Structure 1
Amino acid sequence: MSGIHPFRVLRAKPLWIANGVITGVLALLFTVFYVGANIDPVDHMKNLPVGLVNADKGAAVGGEQVNLGARITESIKKSTASGGKIDWKVMDEKEMKEELGKGKLYGALVVPADFTSATTALTGAATTGVPTRPTLTVLTNQSAGSVGSSLARTATTQAAENASLQVGKELTPQGGTGQAKLPAAARVLLADPAAVAVEDGHPLDSHSGLGLTAFYYALVLVVVGMLSANVISGQVDHALGYTHNDMGPLRLHRPLIRATRVQTLAISSTLMAGLSLLMGTLVMVGAIGLMGMDAAHLPLLWLFSVCAIAVSGIGALTLLAVFGTPGMLVVTLVFIGMAVPTAGATTPLQALPGFYRFLAEFEPLRQITGGIRSILYYDAQADAGLTRGWVMMAVGLTAAALFGFGMTGWYDRKGLHRIPAETEPAKTAAPA
């Protein structure tokens, strides 16, 4: 045994340098991924999809058919004030409701059927009492993401208010001398004729976390898979006798069972796949049974949950098998560091910088969140994110298998295996 005191290792510069570099880089990367993605979503916003519906039937004014709703929608669509931040999608009410119900719109602006008739009625000299203002309706969609819905609401409300002022400018000259005969309230309203009402375009149940339960549920699945991979990897190594296992003050060690890297990864992946059945079930029990989360399509939700945990776990096991001890840092960055800000559940993808939008194309949390969101909020519609979720999980599992078994097989062929070299048996003293 060495007579050196254990605390003397703190004098070793390599110990400080190595750990300082690793922890420093980790702190910097998490700051960049989390803060950088969300520091200015308004400035980075580009082509946020918002519906624009003109249900106005028009009205005859002075012997001429007028449709103020068409003027408004055309003006908003051609407006460059938004700088390309909003992608106005002109559609009818039915299509708008369908798109809101699939999470493809973050909001909508609806011009009502009586907009022209109600607006032009304000110019009538016979108007008595309190004039009735036409209403432009701004629809929100929290199910598509609270931040995205808020951004859409702000932009759409501003567009509606500007449109009302523009209509007021057009109507004021039409009143001519007759405008002076209008009641004072009508003259005031004529300058800004339309009221703006905000409504929920796709209402959610009360226990839906204002549209965030899908994200947190998906995050649980990914974290459970990732952390389970770390546990399973260590326990398989212990079962094979390659590492010891500390249980409090006790250190347990099993006899060595020689296994190649490929065999070890196969054993770990099989264990992960089997235990995913248990973990997926318990996640549902905890979220729905214990915490009361609103959910539908429970068999499909269970199947998707199990597969999401299995794919996340096997992907993490692959990185641990290929990179070894540093693999846990890689796993943390891939499944948490880069995944959370690019999931599109809090800040919409359209409000992220380009680099983060690129990451979102393949980051697992975004794909899983989309599938869970479809099941929980959009009646499990395939084109609301469910199909993409299944496809990307299949692609991820295939990529993990090819990369993991390809690299560990190469390690084995090159002699970089885990089988220890043969050692001579220890000599023992002969009995007296």
Structure 2
Amino acid sequence: MPQPTQPSVLRRPRLWVGTGLIAAVVSILFALLYVGGNVNPKGNLRDLPVALVNADAGSDAGGRHVNMGEQVVAGIQKAAKGDHSIDWQIVTREEADKRLGRGKVFGALVIPQDFSTTVTALGSPQPAPQGKAAPPTLTVLTNQSAGSIGSSMSSQAAQKAAHAASAQIGQELLKQATAQKTPLPTAAQLKLADPVTVAVADGHPVGSRSALGLSAFYYALVLVVCGMLGANLVNSQVDTALGYLHTDYGPVRKREPVRHTSRVRTLAIGMALMLGISLVMGTLVEVATVTILDMDASHLGLLWLYSVATVAVVGIGSLALFAAFGTPGMLLATIVFVAMAVPSSGATVPLQALPGFFRGLAEFEPLRQITEGMRAILYYGAQADAGLGRAWASMGIALVAALVFGFAVTRLYDRRGLHRIPRPDAESGSAAVAGTPEAPDAPDAPEAAANATA
């Protein structure tokens, strides 16, 4: 007698509703996080750190000592009172170089030692011969190693401040020229109206093969993705080895006998395996980027250790989420390690140009800490206070939290008898006593019947 044809699973409303809801949540969440964090960096900009260096020694003019550099600084501070987008940090040149070399500032505006001398020379009744007078110069220093967009914003703000200072100085020089009652040629008037030359230089150069200061972010992102993918691989392979899942190799299906194992032991097995493959993945990431792609890098031993540790911590954290939440844990890990992490990493758009929500995320999101540590290794000579110390501490805290959370939850599940596969009843007969695997799932029943017939 022919068997009735079962209706297609596509006719089940639960399939459409459940899948549709998950897809909708993922779509809107990723869109809001990725685009929301970067859609208006100038509008969100607040307290971007920029160094302001006044090395001007001053000059004697008209029987008095003047310091044009102090006037420039005062003008910048006055303009900044109503605009909190830039945090002007008045420091010495030595301190500015240190902060540039640790990624603490995104750029600098430097007033040179001879600034007053060169300015007053322009207003002198007997100017230096043409071609011999050095023009007043303000230097804007960039810092791509701290982030290309942040460096660009810093450069724009410093150049704007420098040109505003030049216009103010030009007004004073024109007044002095008018008071001398000596007619000036039009070219001379134009020169006096905007007398300062603004030069732009790299305050902390990075190598030509450093992705314009973004190689640290890309490297860190690769490590995070490797940790997540490694955790997914470990999770499926452990379940396969325990007989909880079958493995398909093309048309061939293989399934191991079920080994009833506690959730705590399953998680421990997965974490041990994750530590092993972290050695492989971290090593190969460094080999691929440094050896094959010739990425600029130093401190290769420390880079290797940092790479392996990052993959291991991200992987163990992901396994803890998988063990606690099951299949939804994979989506949760993607949200934590990617969706919320990338826009709050401060790698492309600086944290100072992000909305407050993302600045809050950046305090604990792992990718930001990992990127800062990677920048310290690749760009800042592996200095602890350049972000490497915070990165190691954050990884240690994350590792402990993952271990405590993962084993606490799985222990709770085990104590309540919430086993992944129900254990065979002790009274069910000799098959259970002998440790015979459970009856296969319904989809595998025809396969078992075919084997029995054979």
Shift of 1:181: 4.3
Shift of 1:81: 6.8
Contact 2:230 2:277 in 1 (8 A): no
Distance 1:182 1:5 in 2: 98
For the pair 1:280 / 2:282, whether they are aligned, the reply is: yes
Query: What letter corresponds to residue 97 of structure 1 in structure 2?
Result: D
Q: How does 1:16-165 map to 2 (within 5 A)?
A: 16-80=16-80, 83-127=83-127, 128-129=129-130, 132-165=134-167
Query: What letter corresponds to residue 289 of structure 1 in structure 2?
Result: T
Query: What letter corresponds to residue 193 of structure 2 in structure 1?
Result: A
Shift of 1:187: 2.2
Taking structure 1 as reference, are residues 98 and 3 closer, same or farther at Cα in structure 2, changes over 3 Å only? farther
Distance 1:167 1:339 in 2: 46
Shift of 1:397: 0.4
> What is aligned with 2:452?
none
Contact 1:104 1:384 in 2 (8 A): yes
Distance 1:91 1:421 in 2: 69
Taking structure 1 as reference, are residues 179 and 51 closer, same or farther at Cα in structure 2, changes over 3 Å only? farther
User: Is the partner of 1:341 in helix, strand or coil?
Assistant: coil
Query: What letter corresponds to residue 266 of structure 1 in structure 2?
Result: A
Contact 1:123 1:182 in 2 (8 A): no
Query: What letter corresponds to residue 150 of structure 1 in structure 2?
Result: S
Distance 1:272 1:179 in 2: 83
Distance 1:279 1:315 in 2: 16
Cα shift readout 1:254-308 (whole Å, capped 9, x = no counterpart): 0111111111111000111121111111010000011010100000110011000
Cα shift readout 1:183-235 (whole Å, capped 9, x = no counterpart): 54332221111111111110011111100000000000000000110010000
For the pair 1:342 / 2:344, whether they are aligned, the reply is: yes
User: Is the partner of 1:303 in helix, strand or coil?
Assistant: helix
Moved more, 240-249 or 135-144: 240-249
Moved more, 170-179 or 144-153: 170-179
Contact 2:224 2:314 in 1 (8 A): yes
Distance 2:3 2:10 in 1: 16
> What is aligned with 2:261?
259
Contact 2:149 2:350 in 1 (8 A): yes
Taking structure 1 as reference, are residues 78 and 2 closer, same or farther at Cα in structure 2, changes over 3 Å only? farther
Distance 1:57 1:190 in 2: 22
Contact 1:145 1:347 in 2 (8 A): yes
Residue 418 of structure 2 is aligned with which of 402, 416, 426?
Answer: 416
Distance 2:337 2:81 in 1: 38
Distance 2:63 2:125 in 1: 17
Q: How does 1:244-255 map to 2 (within 5 A)?
A: 244-255=246-257
Taking structure 1 as reference, are residues 232 and 110 closer, same or farther at Cα in structure 2, changes over 3 Å only? same
User: Is the partner of 1:246 in helix, strand or coil?
Assistant: strand
> What is aligned with 1:333?
335
> What is aligned with 1:166?
168
Query: What letter corresponds to residue 62 of structure 2 in structure 1?
Result: G
Query: What letter corresponds to residue 66 of structure 1 in structure 2?
Result: V
> What is aligned with 2:314?
312
> What is aligned with 2:14?
14
User: Is the partner of 1:374 in helix, strand or coil?
Assistant: helix
> What is aligned with 1:205?
207
User: Is the partner of 1:180 in helix, strand or coil?
Assistant: coil
Contact 1:51 1:88 in 2 (8 A): yes
> What is aligned with 2:5?
4
Task: Give the count of matched residue pairs.
Answer: 426
> What is aligned with 1:218?
220
Distance 2:410 2:246 in 1: 22
Query: What letter corresponds to residue 374 of structure 1 in structure 2?
Result: A
Distance 1:3 1:27 in 2: 39
Contact 1:53 1:90 in 2 (8 A): yes
> What is aligned with 1:404?
406
Q: What's the TM-score once normalised by structure 1's chain length? A: 0.95
Distance 1:228 1:82 in 2: 50
Distance 1:299 1:183 in 2: 65
Contact 1:123 1:179 in 2 (8 A): no
Contact 2:149 2:349 in 1 (8 A): yes
Contact 1:140 1:149 in 2 (8 A): yes
Shift of 1:129: 2.4
Q: How does 1:386-405 map to 2 (within 5 A)?
A: 386-405=388-407
User: Is the partner of 1:110 in helix, strand or coil?
Assistant: strand
Q: Please report the RMSD computed on the Cα atoms of aligned residues, expressed in angstroms.
A: 1.7
> What is aligned with 1:430?
none
Contact 2:341 2:367 in 1 (8 A): yes
Distance 1:3 1:99 in 2: 76
Contact 1:338 1:359 in 2 (8 A): yes
Shift of 1:126: 2.1
Contact 1:277 1:306 in 2 (8 A): yes
Query: What letter corresponds to residue 274 of structure 2 in structure 1?
Result: M
Moved more, 410-419 or 276-285: 410-419
Contact 1:111 1:135 in 2 (8 A): yes
User: Is the partner of 1:339 in helix, strand or coil?
Assistant: coil
Cα shift readout 1:21-80 (whole Å, capped 9, x = no counterpart): 001100000001110000000000110000000011110011100000011012212323
Taking structure 1 as reference, are residues 291 and 176 closer, same or farther at Cα in structure 2, changes over 3 Å only? same
Moved more, 417-426 or 86-95: 417-426
Taking structure 1 as reference, are residues 158 and 81 closer, same or farther at Cα in structure 2, changes over 3 Å only? farther
User: Is the partner of 1:326 in helix, strand or coil?
Assistant: helix
The percent identity for this pair of structures is 54
- Could you tell me which runs of 5 or more consecutive residues in structure 1 were left unpaired when the two chains were aligned: 428-432
Cα shift readout 1:115-161 (whole Å, capped 9, x = no counterpart): 11101111123224256421111111000001101111111111111
The structure with more radius of gyration: 2
Distance 1:3 1:123 in 2: 102
Contact 2:260 2:423 in 1 (8 A): no
